[in-house]
Structure 1
Amino acid sequence: MNDHITHPHPPVYDSKGNLICCTLEEKIDGTTPPAIAPRTDQHHERDGHDHSHDQRHGGALGWKAYLPAMISLVLLLSGLAVEHLLKLEFFKGWIKILWYTLAYLPVGFPVMKEAWEALRKGEVFTEFFLMSIATIGAFAIGEYPEGVAVMLFYAIGELFQTAAVKRAKSNIKALLDVRPNTASVFRNGGYESVEPESVKIGETIQIRVGEKIPLDGRLISDKAVLNSAALTGESKPLDIQKDEKVMAGSINLEGVIEVKVEKLFNDSSIARILELVQNATSRKSKTELLIRRLAKIYTPIVVYLAIGICFLPYFFVSDYVFVEWLYRALIFLVISCPCALVISIPLGYFGGLGAASKNGLLFKGATYLDQITKVNTLVMDKTGTVTKGVFKIKDIVISSKMPEAEFMNLLMAIEAKSTHPIAKAIMEYSTDQNLPEADEIEEIAGKGLNGVVQGKRILVGNKNLMQQFGINVPPATDDILESIVMVGIDGEFVGYVTIADELKDDAMQSIKRIHEVGIQEVVMLSGDKDSITQQVANELGIKVAKGGLLPEDKLNEVEKIKEDESKIVAFVGDGINDAPVLAASDVGIAMGALGSDVAIETADVIIQTDQPSKIVTGINIAKSTQRIIWQNIALAFGVKIIVLILGAGGLATMWEAVFADVGVALLAILNAVRLQRMQWN
Structure 2
Amino acid sequence: MKKKKENLRDIDIKAHSGGDSHDDGHNHGSPESVSNFKTYLPAIFSFVLLIIGIAIDYFDVFLFFEGWVHIVWYTVAYVPVGFPVIKEGWNSIKNGDLFTEFLLMSIATLGAFAIGEYPEGVAVMLFYAVGELFQSAAVNRAKGNIRGLLDVRPNEALVYRDGVFISVNPETLQIGEKIQVRVGEKIPLDGKLLSNKASVNTAAITGESKPDTIATGDKVFAGSINLDGVIEIETTKEFKDSSIARILDMVQNATSQKSKTELFIRKFARIYTPIVVFLAIGLTFFPYFFVDDYVFRDWLYRALIFLVISCPCALVISIPLGYFGGLGAASRNGILFKGASFLDAMTKVNTVVMDKTGTVTKGVFKIKEVVNSLDFEEAEFMGYLMAMEEQSTHPIAKAILEYKAEGEDFEVSEVSEIAGKGLKGTVNGKIVLVGNKILMTSNGIDVPSGTDTIVESIVMVGIDGQFAGYVTIADELKDDAHQAIKEIRESGISKIIMLSGDKDSITQQIAKELGIDWAKGGLLPEDKLNEVEQLKKQQSTKVAFIGDGINDTPVLAASDVGIAMGGLGSDVAIETADVIIQNDQPSKIARAIRIGRSTRKIVWQNIILAFGVKIIVLILSAGGLATMWEAVFADVGVALLAILNAVRLQKMKWQNKVQ
TM over 0.5: yes
Residues 279-325 of structure 1: per-residue CA shift (max 9 Å, x gap): 21322222222222221111101101111122222333333332222
Tell me by how many angstroms 1:536 deviates: 0.8
Aligned to 2:234: 259
Aligned to 1:43: none
Tell me by how many angstroms 1:208 deviates: 2.5
Contact kept in structure 2, 1:411 and 1:487, CA below 8 Å: no
Tell me by how many angstroms 1:93 deviates: 3.0
Contact kept in structure 2, 1:361 and 1:608, CA below 8 Å: yes
Measured in 2, the distance between the counterparts of 1:470 and 1:209 equals 60
Aligned to 2:213: 237
Change (3 A) 1:528 1:251: farther
Of 177, 200, 206, which aligns to 1:204? Answer: 177
Contact kept in structure 1, 2:158 and 2:181, CA below 8 Å: no
Check if 1:68 corresponds to 2:70. Answer: no
Residues 588-626 of structure 1: per-residue CA shift (max 9 Å, x gap): 011234764313321011111322222221112211222
Aligned to 1:344: 318
Tell me by how many angstroms 1:472 deviates: 7.1
Check if 1:641 corresponds to 2:620. Answer: no
**DSSP-derived class of the 1:662 partner:** helix
Change (3 A) 1:594 1:386: closer
Of 121, 125, 131, which aligns to 2:99? Answer: 125
Aligned to 1:160: 134
Contact kept in structure 2, 1:594 and 1:600, CA below 8 Å: no
Change (3 A) 1:673 1:496: same
Of 121, 134, 145, which aligns to 2:119? Answer: 145
Measured in 2, the distance between the counterparts of 1:531 and 1:174 equals 46
Residues 108-152 of structure 1: per-residue CA shift (max 9 Å, x gap): 222122112111101110111111111122222222222222222
**What is the TM-score normalised by the length of structure 2?**
0.83
One-letter amino acid matched to 2:68: W
Contact kept in structure 2, 1:281 and 1:350, CA below 8 Å: yes
Aligned to 2:82: 108
One-letter amino acid matched to 1:440: F
Change (3 A) 1:340 1:401: farther
Measured in 2, the distance between the counterparts of 1:56 and 1:127 equals 22
Tell me by how many angstroms 1:84 deviates: 1.9
Aligned to 2:299: 325
Change (3 A) 1:187 1:471: same
Alignment RMSD, CA only?
3.9
Tell me by how many angstroms 1:580 deviates: 0.8
Aligned to 1:442: 412
Check if 1:602 corresponds to 2:594. Answer: no
Measured in 2, the distance between the counterparts of 1:159 and 1:412 equals 73
1:27-66 residue pairs with structure 2 within 5 A? 27-29=9-11, 58-60=24-26, 62=33, 63-64=36-37, 65-66=39-40
Measured in 1, the distance between the counterparts of 2:597 and 2:603 equals 10
Change (3 A) 1:128 1:672: same
Measured in 2, the distance between the counterparts of 1:293 and 1:624 equals 24
Aligned to 1:283: 257
Of 248, 252, 259, which aligns to 1:274? Answer: 248
**DSSP-derived class of the 1:124 partner:** coil
Measured in 2, the distance between the counterparts of 1:581 and 1:599 equals 10
Measured in 2, the distance between the counterparts of 1:487 and 1:91 equals 106
Contact kept in structure 2, 1:370 and 1:626, CA below 8 Å: yes
Measured in 1, the distance between the counterparts of 2:129 and 2:496 equals 50
Measured in 2, the distance between the counterparts of 1:205 and 1:459 equals 42
**DSSP-derived class of the 2:26 partner:** coil
Residues 46-99 of structure 1: per-residue CA shift (max 9 Å, x gap): xxxxxxx97995442643233332332233223223332473333333333333
Contact kept in structure 1, 2:326 and 2:596, CA below 8 Å: yes
Measured in 2, the distance between the counterparts of 1:631 and 1:655 equals 24
Of 540, 543, 564, which aligns to 1:569? Answer: 543
Contact kept in structure 1, 2:353 and 2:543, CA below 8 Å: yes
Measured in 1, the distance between the counterparts of 2:103 and 2:500 equals 58
Contact kept in structure 2, 1:575 and 1:596, CA below 8 Å: yes
Residues 559-598 of structure 1: per-residue CA shift (max 9 Å, x gap): 2222224321111101532111100111101123476431
Residues 405-462 of structure 1: per-residue CA shift (max 9 Å, x gap): x846984898599587557656777x9xxx745413538454499878xxx9998955
Contact kept in structure 2, 1:200 and 1:261, CA below 8 Å: no
Check if 1:515 corresponds to 2:489. Answer: yes
One-letter amino acid matched to 1:328: R
Of 75, 81, 99, which aligns to 2:73? Answer: 99
Measured in 1, the distance between the counterparts of 2:195 and 2:467 equals 38
Aligned to 1:6: none
One-letter amino acid matched to 2:581: I
Tell me by how many angstroms 1:675 deviates: 1.4
**DSSP-derived class of the 2:605 partner:** helix
Measured in 1, the distance between the counterparts of 2:52 and 2:550 equals 66
Structure 2 residues without counterparts, runs of 5 or longer: 28-32
Change (3 A) 1:392 1:104: farther
Aligned to 1:47: none
**DSSP-derived class of the 2:580 partner:** strand
Measured in 2, the distance between the counterparts of 1:669 and 1:292 equals 17
**DSSP-derived class of the 2:348 partner:** coil
Of 650, 656, 659, which aligns to 2:630? Answer: 656
Change (3 A) 1:220 1:592: closer
**DSSP-derived class of the 2:523 partner:** coil
Measured in 1, the distance between the counterparts of 2:360 and 2:495 equals 16
Measured in 2, the distance between the counterparts of 1:237 and 1:450 equals 41
Aligned to 1:677: 651
Measured in 1, the distance between the counterparts of 2:145 and 2:568 equals 18
Measured in 2, the distance between the counterparts of 1:473 and 1:176 equals 60
Aligned to 1:10: none
Tell me by how many angstroms 1:468 deviates: 11
Contact kept in structure 2, 1:396 and 1:496, CA below 8 Å: yes
Measured in 2, the distance between the counterparts of 1:88 and 1:399 equals 111
Length, aligned pairs only? 627
Identity of aligned pairs, percent?
A: 64
**DSSP-derived class of the 2:152 partner:** coil
Change (3 A) 1:157 1:181: same
One-letter amino acid matched to 2:313: C
**DSSP-derived class of the 1:282 partner:** coil
Measured in 1, the distance between the counterparts of 2:370 and 2:54 equals 86
**DSSP-derived class of the 2:410 partner:** strand
Measured in 2, the distance between the counterparts of 1:333 and 1:100 equals 21
Measured in 2, the distance between the counterparts of 1:596 and 1:147 equals 60
One-letter amino acid matched to 2:234: V
Measured in 2, the distance between the counterparts of 1:559 and 1:67 equals 60
Contact kept in structure 1, 2:359 and 2:546, CA below 8 Å: yes
Contact kept in structure 2, 1:414 and 1:449, CA below 8 Å: no
- Between 1:502-511 and 1:409-418, the stretch displaced more is 409-418
**DSSP-derived class of the 1:389 partner:** strand
Of 546, 549, 574, which aligns to 2:523? Answer: 549
Measured in 2, the distance between the counterparts of 1:141 and 1:154 equals 20
One-letter amino acid matched to 1:442: V
Contact kept in structure 1, 2:351 and 2:543, CA below 8 Å: yes
One-letter amino acid matched to 2:232: I
1:74-85 residue pairs with structure 2 within 5 A? 74-85=48-59
Contact kept in structure 2, 1:232 and 1:592, CA below 8 Å: no
One-letter amino acid matched to 2:140: K
Change (3 A) 1:596 1:89: farther
Of 363, 368, 373, which aligns to 2:347? Answer: 373
Aligned to 1:46: none
Contact kept in structure 1, 2:310 and 2:614, CA below 8 Å: yes
